[in-house]
Every structure is written in C-alpha cells, then in structure tokens.
Structure 1
Amino acid sequence: MNRSIVHMDLDTFFVSCERKKNSELVGRPIIIGGGDRGVVASCSYETRFFGVRSAMPIKMALRLCPEAMVIKGDMDMYLNMSQLVTEVIRDKVPVMEKASIDEFYLDLSGMDKFFGCYKWTQEVAQAVTDNTGLPISFALSTNKTVAKIGTGESKPVGKLEVKEKDVQPFLNPLSIKKIPMVGNETFQLLSRLGVRTIEMLSQTPPDVLQQLIGKNGTVLWKKANGIDETPVMQYSERKSISTEDTFSQDTIDVFAVRSILSGMVEKLCYQLREEKWLTSTVVVKIRYSNFDTETKQCRIPHTSADHTLLKYVLELFNKLYTRRIRIRMVGVKFTNLVHGCHQMNLFEDTEEQISLYQAMDKIKNRFGTTSVCRASGLIR
C-alpha cells in the first residue's frame, strides 16, 4: 500500500498569534523576541525580506530591518493556541504526530479510496483556520521528508501534493539545505566537495557519504533519493517526568543534597529538551529518616532551561527543609508538560545562553548524558 503522509506547519506561528490578538499588526514587520541581547524567536515575512531569520540576535535583526516592531511574546498564549490546533486536527485524522509547537504529521495511508487524501487534508487545514483564525500550510506526499520539504516550498499558506512519480523531479533542483537533517556544518562540508543540490547528493555513493559524515551518511543519501520509512507516531500527552534518589545513609549535609538536586534538574531538563517538552509546574519531595514525606510545588512560566528550573527547585527545597533532621530521600518532578520546540525561554535569555545549551546538548547526544555537566552537580 502506498503511504500518504501530510506535513502541516502553522505559518509564522508566534506572529500569527499576536496578529490575531491585535489586528493592527497585520502587514507590519514584526519580530518576536526579548531584550537587546536576546534572539529572534519568530519573525514576519515582512522582516524576512530584509534577511531577518529565527535565532538571529535582536540587534542584528534591527540593523537589517530598523522599522520592525519587537514584541516580547507570550508563550502561554502560544501554547494554548497550539493545543487548540492539536485538538482540531486530532478530531479529524486517524493518526497524528505533533512534531513541535507548530508542526504536525498526519498518516492518511489507505484513506484515498474513501475520501481523497488531498481533499481531506484541505478540509483539515480549513478547519484549523476556521476554529483558530491561524494560517496553515501543508504538503502531501509519500513520506515525512518529502512532505516537510514540500511544506517549506509551498509557504506561505501553501497547499502542495507531491505524488510518488514526481518526488525526484521535485527534490532534484533544490538545495541540500532543504533536507531537514542537513545543518550548516554538513552543508559547508558537502559544498566544498561541489555537492550543493539534492540531485547531486542523490548521485553520490552512500559509502562515500558515510566516510564523510558518519553513520548518518546513508540516511542522508536515502532522503536525497526520496526514501524515508520513518513512521508517524501517534501523539499522546505526557503528564510528568521525575527522578528520586534514596541515600545509602541518611544525611543532614544540606550542601550535598543541593548538589544532588542540581544533578537531577540537569538530567531532567536534558530529557525535556530531547523530547521537546516544556514544564510549568515544579515539585520537590523530601523523605526524612523517620519516613515522613513532604512535598512543595510552584507554578512557573513554561520552560525547559536548567538555570531557570534549578532556581525554583532550590527555592522549594529551602522552604521545605525546616525540620533539621536527617534526610533519607529527595526527588524532583516536572509536571503540566506541553509540547514545545524551543530549548529555553527565547523571550528572556541571551544568545550566549541559548548557544551554551545547544552546545551542551550536542555533546551529550554524541558522548552520553554524563559527558558534560554543571560543577555544582558533581559535589557529593
């Protein structure tokens, strides 16, 4: 059976949410971000004309487009709108994967003989706009890779179908940058070898690519040839993530306990970012030597950043630990999770902090979760 995979992407999602709230912003150049040292979380097409892009420092963006209006952004509003879109899509399709706060994959395989997959996708996209007022683009094809590339080529508010016989003619003239897994380093490496289009990449022997960029070389060759068997994973909300540590000996060493909490937070935050979750509730638990157990929690703005969450965890611990008797166990839980594609609060944190988290996560992905960590988490 031929697969029918749809990729849907909300157009300039953050900007669209702000324009829905304030219609006077329609048509104006908009940058969503925070602070002079912050970065661009999202930007309107009016600013992209001048070269502004996501993750660019705000100062640089304003030099390129001085007339742009900078809006700090409201993550809670964006998450609520994302949830509304999720519910609209989930009610209408058999299998839906939520890839990020504004991206969705649908598997409509086998439905073509009943409804017509392209027509059905049009109706789903229209339902999203009717129920939320947000513009959305989509592409329908044989797999995730081609569908995602198709959505990017169809924007803004695009509707595209790439049939199986048209996959290679569609991909061939495009830049290798269009392939989702091709980052800047890989692009520069392949460009130096003269491989700049998907057609040239598809004709490069896979063993050569594997020697150049490692085990992903074969995967990249398959994607360039329109081959991607990755399934659409049914979306389900995760409620919480947590970890606990029961000590071999009960302790009253507050300094050591704080160090353990620091390590816990770092571990959980890495997991949040890897699975693309944001948390809005922090819970700290203590079990004393007499087995009495106490917890304390607080609500916070949605985030997945270590330094933000660690601050709240330590504050809760200081408020919770007042009995001054030995501790048997401590635990940390992050609850009220929502899907989010941002690794940290792009509206408040600096470019340097964002780059630091990205670099640390990259090292952990390659060498293991214990390869790099905060010094405060090593003191026991």
Structure 2
Amino acid sequence: MGTKRNIVHIDLDTFFVSVERKFDPSLIGKPVLIGGSADRGVVAACSYEARKFGIHSAMPMKTAMRLCPHATVVRGTHGRYGEASREVTQIIHDTVPLYQKTSVDEFYIDLTGMDRFHDCYKFAGELRQKIIRQTGLPISFGMSSGKTVSKIATGLAKPNGQLLVPHGTEKAFLAPLPIKKIPMLGEKTCQKLYSYGIEKIADLQRVDLKFLNAIFGKAGLYIYEKAHGIDHAEIVPHSDRKSISQDHTFESNVTEIRTLETMLTSMTEELAGKLRRENKVAGCLSIKIRFGNFETHTVQEKIALTAAEHILLPGVKNLLKKAWNGHRPIRLIGVKLSNLCTGSYQINLFEDNEEKIKLYQAMDQINFKFGDKTVCRAGGMEIGTRNFNPFMKG
C-alpha cells in the first residue's frame, strides 16, 4: 500500500457532561443526565456513572429517572458546548498538519509521514495532554493505520486513555471483539450475521467475501474490509462544506404570504432531511429575497445546532417577517442552512421529546425509501411534487 499511514482518532469523553462538570465541579463522580424535561424530554447525554444503570442517550428521561432516581438532571447549554468544541479545535488546528472534525467532540488526525521526524504515538500523546491541560476536559485517542481501527481503539481506550494498534497487528487486534464494534454495522446487519453464528470479528474474518456479497450485496465488501482492518478512507480536511441552500424563482412575482410560506416550508423540509441523512446539523439560518426590481436582501440568525424542522420553520417564517413588509412583489426566495458540523440528531434532544424524534426517524425512513417529499408537512404539500435543484456550496 506504499506509505505507512498513521491515523489518530480523538474523542472527548462524555463531552456534554465533562463541560458541565467544569462549570459545576459538584457533579463530578455523580450520575448526571443532560437533556429535556423529566416529563416528556429525552436524555441527550449521560455520565459513565449513569450508564452503569443501563441509561443511554435518546432514552426517555422518565425511563432514565426510573432506572436511577438519584441522578442529577442538567438542562443543556448549547453555547458552552460550542465554545468548548472551538477551544479543542483551535489547539488541534495549531498543532497538526491535517485533521478532520467529524462532530463537536470527535476528530481524525493524519500524521502520515511525520514518523521521519517524530514518534507519532508520542506526538499524539503530547497533544492529548496539551488539550487536557488547556481545556480541563478528559479525552481519549486510538492510533493505527486507518480510521476504522483507530475509532475502535479509542472506544477501548476510554475513559480518558490512549491506545496504539501497531502496523500489521490490525487483524489480530480486531479478532476477539464483538462484530457490533465495527462502526456503521447496524442492529439488523448484526442480527443477520448472528443467525449464521458470526458473533466475533474473528468469525467474520474467516468468512469468504463471496458469502458476504451474496447476503449483503455491495455492503459485503465494506463489512469484509472493516473486519480485516482494511480502510483506505482519507482524512477530509476541516474545510468541508459549510452550507446547504436552495432557492426558487417564481414565474410571476408573488405578494401572497401563504404562497411564500408554503415554498419556504417545502425548501426547509428538504434541506433539513438532507442534513439528517448526511448526519449534519446547522448553526445558522438565513433567507434570501429578491424583489421584482431585482434588489436582493438576505437576513440571518444564529440558532442552536439542529436539523429539525419544528425548530427551523418558525425561524424561517420569522426571518420572512423581518425582511419583507408584506407589500413589495417577490421574484425569488431562498433558504440557506450554514455553520454546518457533523453531529447526529442527538444534539437537539434538549428541546425535543420522544414523539418528535420518532416522527422524524419515520419520515426520513419513508423519504429515503420512496424518494424525497413522499411524506411532508401539510404546509409544504401543495408544491411537494415539484422538483427543486438545491445548489450546494463548498
């Protein structure tokens, strides 16, 4: 394969909890739940002490409190997490040649080629200590020849540890682990493999690629390579796409608010669905209006990281009120979601309840199977069948 790669995966341990503990040290050592109201909210994050009671993220807060009645519930503070994430990112940015931020608390670093001048594992260890010293946050990392093995190694290094998988030992390192440790291997895939008696990665390593292709089609190769520690995925630099937008030019100028709101609803739904599919959330919302005389106005507002329409839509409608007096004819209208970062839906659980999360999951599954706009809000339905061409900004 040519050059030996040195890939580091860094993960801030129980990030939200660790940040809250910095502000309130009395939470240290206690079971802590972060999330919405105890009545209908869900757990956005929990401490290791709470996990011992079987609590996990996205669990209804009611259930979590039943499992651990003496847990401390903290309502999340988005600003704090964003600030802590920026601090860590800055230290990494100033120290390493190439990195990829994949969520608020997770990074991949490529140290390939640096072994001519440094002991890469020692270098990564020093970076870890620097982050702990400067931010006060616990952090773990794994290092190997590829992203997948490094991510699995980080999981084993937690809490607050580090682990090296030397070149050539990837297969042996993976062998004793359960198959569910392979990232992106969902519950259904695991169940199917269990039905063939495949439980450990070692069992998977003994299986023929043809067999996996017969069962899983194209995904067979992915599973085969990951089980053997083969991963050529590159580190995509931090400057990946920062915004996603869509606009629509009307055939004739429009002055009816209902038409404008319907169009905005439809575009926002489509963009939010795309974000959720790409496992991204947005931190800024803006709308663009071009009037009949071609004069163009853009208004924007910072928002808590989200990919949920019930948070985005009121914001969009509010921006429309700010930008338009209700009289001037409008020629074009557009929506843009920016300040994107990778992060699962989990990040908006502070405001959400169980029913909403289940609804989004169900909508996304149907739209993914049968095509966008199969299901959408009534507000976006009148134009749900039209095709828009969202343009992506790099």
Q: TM-score, normalised by structure 1?
A: 0.93
Deviation at 1:254, TM superposition (A): 2.7
CA deviations over 1:23-71 (Å, ceiling 9, x no partner): 1111111011111222211111111111111222211111221111111
The equivalent residue for 2:71 is: 68
Residue 34 of structure 2, aligned match among 32, 51, 55: 32
CA deviations over 1:292-319 (Å, ceiling 9, x no partner): 3334333433322111111111122234
Report how many aligned residue pairs link the two structures.
Answer: 380
The equivalent residue for 1:97 is: 100
How far apart, in 2, do the equivalents of 1:147 and 1:364 lie? 33
The alignment's C-alpha RMSD in Å is 2.0
How far apart, in 2, do the equivalents of 1:81 and 1:358 lie? 29
Which secondary structure does the structure 1 equivalent of 2:382 belong to? coil
How far apart, in 1, do the equivalents of 2:279 and 2:238 lie? 13
Deviation at 1:209, TM superposition (A): 2.0
The equivalent residue for 1:7 is: 9
CA deviations over 1:166-221 (Å, ceiling 9, x no partner): 21221111111100011112122221221111111122222322332332121011
Where does 1:133-172 land on structure 2 (aligned, <5 Å)? 133-172=136-175
Q: Given that residues 44 and 346 in structure 2 are in contact (C-alpha distance below 8 angstroms), is that contact kept between their aligned partners in structure 1?
A: no
How far apart, in 2, do the equivalents of 1:314 and 1:265 lie? 11
Structure 2 unaligned segments of length 5 or more: list them.
Answer: 384-394
Q: Which is worse superposed, 299-308 or 338-347?
A: 338-347
Change in Cα spacing, 1:379 to 1:111, as seen in structure 2 (3 Å) is same
Q: TM-score, normalised by structure 2?
A: 0.90
Pair 1:360 & 2:363 matched: yes
Pair 1:281 & 2:289 matched: no
Q: Given that residues 9 and 108 in structure 2 are in contact (C-alpha distance below 8 angstroms), is that contact kept between their aligned partners in structure 1?
A: yes
Amino acid paired to 2:73? V
Residue 23 of structure 2, aligned match among 21, 24, 27: 21
Residue 110 of structure 1, aligned match among 108, 113, 116: 113
Q: Given that residues 143 and 229 in structure 1 are in contact (C-alpha distance below 8 angstroms), is that contact kept between their aligned partners in structure 2?
A: yes
Q: Given that residues 9 and 109 in structure 2 are in contact (C-alpha distance below 8 angstroms), is that contact kept between their aligned partners in structure 1?
A: yes
Where does 1:288-367 land on structure 2 (aligned, <5 Å)? 288-342=291-345, 345-367=348-370
Structure 1 unaligned segments of length 5 or more: list them.
Answer: none
Deviation at 1:161, TM superposition (A): 0.5
How far apart, in 1, do the equivalents of 2:267 and 2:318 lie? 15
Change in Cα spacing, 1:360 to 1:344, as seen in structure 2 (3 Å) is farther
Q: Given that residues 100 and 276 in structure 1 are in contact (C-alpha distance below 8 angstroms), is that contact kept between their aligned partners in structure 2?
A: no
The equivalent residue for 1:176 is: 179
Q: Which is worse superposed, 293-302 or 14-23?
A: 293-302
Q: Given that residues 41 and 353 in structure 2 are in contact (C-alpha distance below 8 angstroms), is that contact kept between their aligned partners in structure 1?
A: yes
Deviation at 1:249, TM superposition (A): 1.9
Q: Which is worse superposed, 44-53 or 292-301?
A: 292-301
The equivalent residue for 1:50 is: 53
Which secondary structure does the structure 2 equivalent of 1:236 belong to? coil
Amino acid paired to 1:230? A
